[in-house]
Amino acid sequence: MSLRRAALLAHARATLAAGSQSFAAAARLLDPVTRERAELLYAWCRACDDIANGQALGAGAARVQDATARLSAMRALTARALSGEETGDPAFDALGLIAAETGLPGRYAHDLIDGFALDARDWRPRSEADLYRYCYHVAGTVGCMMAVVMGVDPADEAVLDRACDLGIAFQLANIARDICEDDAMDRCYLPDEWLVDVDIPPGEHMKPHYRPQLAALARRLAERAGRYERSARAGARALPFRSAWAVLAAAGIYGAIAREVARRGDHAWDHRVTIRKAAKAGWIVRALGQALARGAWSGPSREGLWTRER
């Protein structure tokens, strides 16, 4: 291993250790080469999220006053990294290294930044399709990049669709869990059409007397997350064993978040939904059996699911 790669990997591992226990747990299931590349990709994703939201390692998110400048800097550093230039920032240099090693298409990185741009201009979804489009930009793109990191051919659009579905499932779970936190930042990812369906005026969904309707929308998010999770699981057939194990474990853990939000009903936002270590371990064990049996799966079709533009 070159000194440069070792230094970038050390930075990525420190970022991961501080930034996401769930991702770190899933990454440990990967083979060594794939794990290193996943860690490097995480460092870039984390850096972009922190830049866009004025936070450090996912903590202390706040509205930023210079969003346009931040996005411009992010785009420029990403473009330089993807072109093979050194940027002087280890997170962006990590992206360049992954792209060189895997042939990662740059469009996914830029599509992710487009997701941050949506938040920067206070965008809100009007329709369910708008919601899925947002989920693609902020999470489905990461699913596609992770698939390439795991060895999927960048031209295999069918498998990448399933990888994108997993990112969408994750983001739908996050949206359901974080409705209260998003509202505190004056953000709402519930489509206007959904709010109209349950007679909640825009901007008033967190008022206590609307809690039953809000719980119904959270159950709708959880149900949609389940659809995309089931589709994504079928994509695990195309992955090497250890990558499939990690993906299925992550699917179980994030799926449990959505289901727990739905189960809590009106009380879903009294305390932030988290998955305990013992429960995560249980999903990892279950995923082992699922990965071993994945060759026998037929899996659901994607008929009726939103599909990213290609």
pLDDT of residue 22: 72
User: Which pTM was predicted?
Assistant: 0.94
- CA–centroid distance for 57 within its chain: 15
C-alpha pair distances (Å), 62 with each of 16, 160, 184: 21, 33, 10
Lowest mean pLDDT segment, chosen from 44-48, 120-124, 296-300: 296-300
The share of the chain scoring above pLDDT 70, in percent, equals 96
Q: Which residue has the higher pLDDT, 1 or 53?
A: 53
225: amino acid identity, one letter: A
The domains of the chain are located at 1-104, 124-310
What count of residues does the chain have? 310
If we measure between CA atoms, which residue out of 153, 210, 159 comes closest to residue 183? Answer: 210
Q: How confident is the model at residue 175 (pLDDT cuts 50, 70, 90)?
A: very high
CATH number of the domain at 124-310, out of 3.40.50.1450, 1.10.3720.10, 1.10.600.10, 2.40.50.100? 1.10.600.10
* Strand runs labelled E in the chain: none
Following DSSP, what letter does each residue of 91-141 receive, concatenated? HHHHHHHHHHHH---HHHHHHHHHHHHHHHTT---SSHHHHHHHHIIIIIH
- Gyration radius of the chain over CA positions: 19
- Contact assessment for residue 86 and residue 100, using Cβ atoms and an 8 Å cutoff: no
Residue 256: partners with Cβ closer than 8 Å, 6 or more residues away? 275, 279, 283
Angle between the 106-120 and 141-149 helix axes, to the nearest 10 degrees? 160
Under the banding of pLDDT at 50, 70 and 90, the label for residue 57 is low
| Residue 118 confidence (pLDDT) | 95
Chain segment 222-235, per-residue pLDDT in tens: 999 999 999 999 99
Q: Which of 248, 253, 251 is nearest to 291 (CA)?
A: 248
Q: CB under 8 Å, gap of 24 or more: what pairs does 291-298 form?
A: 291/236, 291/241, 291/242, 291/244, 291/245, 291/248, 292/241, 294/236, 294/237, 294/244, 294/248, 295/237, 297/233, 297/234, 297/236, 297/237, 298/234
Q: What is the pLDDT of residue 18?
A: 82
CA–CA dist 62, 178 (Å, integer): 15
Rounded to whole angstroms, the Cα distance separating 253 from 266 reads: 22
Secondary structure class of 163 (helix, strand, coil):
helix
What does the block give as tokens for 306? 């939103």
pLDDT in tens, 75-118: 999 999 999 999 999 999 999 999 999 999 999 999 999 999 99
205 CA to centre of own chain:
24
Supply 177's token pair.
């869990």
Average pLDDT score over residue span 206-224: 97
Average of per-residue pLDDT across 10-27? 84
In terms of C-beta density within 10 A (0-12 exposed, 13-18 middle, 19 or more buried), how is residue 60 classed? exposed
Query: Which amino acid is it at 156?
Result: D
CB 109 within 8 A of CB 78: yes
H or E element that contains 183:
helix 179-184
